[in-house]
Structure 1
Amino acid sequence: MRIEPSQLSGVITFVPQPHHDDRGLFTRTFDAQIFDEWAGSTTAATFVQDSQSRSLRGVIRGLHGRSGAGEAKLVRCARGAVHDVLVDARPQSPTFGRHEVFLLDDIEFRHLYVPPGMLHGFQALSDIADVCYRIDRPHDPTEDLAVAHDDPDLGIAWPLPPTLLSPRDAAAGSWAELVTHLRG
């Protein structure tokens, strides 16, 4: 598994090395030893929940985050392709307010490590996209944060016109409101 750094502080991608043969392929989707060597700890053991979403082409999910201690996740696209976006919402971070885009797909099988304090969202680029999340804390809806995917202060370029947003995402607040909340 290859490790690639990101422009955002603490974000990293893991790129598996699939074995291809006449039957198809085999790839490791997670390796706690490699993860912990990168993290310098036993962080892999703190993952407590695996979740999966299925989205149709053009659907945008996000931008979502968690208040309090935040939430670390390992994200991958098991089927199809997504335009994955992270926004650094950690006020003390040197990359606060910046965003970065990643292509996650079922060709390269990149895994994106998202540290606590990030906003995360994606748009499905394929007819069907299955995104898998490995999360380090049980979900607590009272800590949910959401920022509008099209907030002009963030200036995120989505590759397709949005086809569908959840009611929660359609009503999401602005980046400026979140910054005011975070800086309290």
Structure 2
Amino acid sequence: MRVERTELDGMLLFVPEPHHDDRGLFTRTFDAAVAGAQGLDAAAFIQDSQSRSRYGTVRGMHGRSGRGEGKLVRCARGAVLDIVVDARPGSSTFGQHVAVRLDDETFRTLYVPPGLLHGFQSLTALSDVCYRIDREHDPSEDLSVRYDDPDLKIPWPLPVAAISDRDLAAGSWSDLRARLSA
């Protein structure tokens, strides 16, 4: 498994090497030693979650206040375009976003460090996204920005087929920016 750095400081892409044969394939989707070599504490990831989305669904943009939350994100079924926005005041890439395709062919895993907003759009009929998270969920720390915020200009590749009422009611990037700077 190799590790690639991204444009956002601290965000990593873990790229496994699937082994294919006439039975199908086998791949390692997580390796504590590889994570440790990148400065991540594998034992800190205390919760695994999974979502299933249909074609065109957008989930996001979500984050956490306080200490934030680090997470490992991968697509176990289908494909998604994963979007991450740097919401760390003082970061040299504050307000910038990165798009990464995650799918069930390459099995790449994205490490999203604390302080970033995360969301994705399903590119296939069904997509299952798996998250390994380093903190228990505390709803009082939830942050969200609307997926179509005009200041972020996120280039969603498909028309949005479905989105939650919660995500539709999310605030603006300018409001969150002011809140984070206070």
Same fold (TM over 0.5): yes
Q: CA RMSD in A?
A: 0.6
CA distance in 2, matches of 1:138, 1:22: 41
Correspondence 1:9 to 2:2: no
User: 1:35-114 residue pairs with structure 2 within 5 A?
Assistant: 35-39=35-39, 43-114=41-112
Instruction: For residue 167 of structure 1, report the CA deviation from its aligned partner.
Output: 0.7
TM-score by length of 2: 0.99
Instruction: For residue 2 of structure 1, report the CA deviation from its aligned partner.
Output: 1.1
CA distance in 1, matches of 2:144, 2:162: 16
CA distance in 2, matches of 1:176, 1:74: 27
User: What is the aligned partner in structure 2 of residue 29 from structure 1?
Assistant: 29
Amino acid at match of 1:58: G
Q: Deviations over 1:105-148 (max 9, x none)?
A: 00101100000000000000000000000000001111111100
Amino acid at match of 1:105: D
Q: Structure 2 regions of 5+ residues with no counterpart?
A: none
- Taking only the aligned residue pairs, the percentage that are identical comes to 64
CA distance in 1, matches of 2:162, 2:18: 33
TM-score by length of 1: 0.98
Instruction: For residue 92 of structure 1, report the CA deviation from its aligned partner.
Output: 1.7
User: 1:169-180 residue pairs with structure 2 within 5 A?
Assistant: 169-180=167-178
Q: Deviations over 1:33-55 (max 9, x none)?
A: 0000111x5x1110000000000
Q: Structure 1 regions of 5+ residues with no counterpart?
A: none
CA distance in 1, matches of 2:38, 2:64: 24
Stretches (4+) displaced over 2 A = none
Corresponding residue pairs, total: 182
Amino acid at match of 2:137: H
User: What is the aligned partner in structure 2 of residue 127 from structure 1?
Assistant: 125
Amino acid at match of 1:168: R
CA distance in 2, matches of 1:89, 1:44: 24
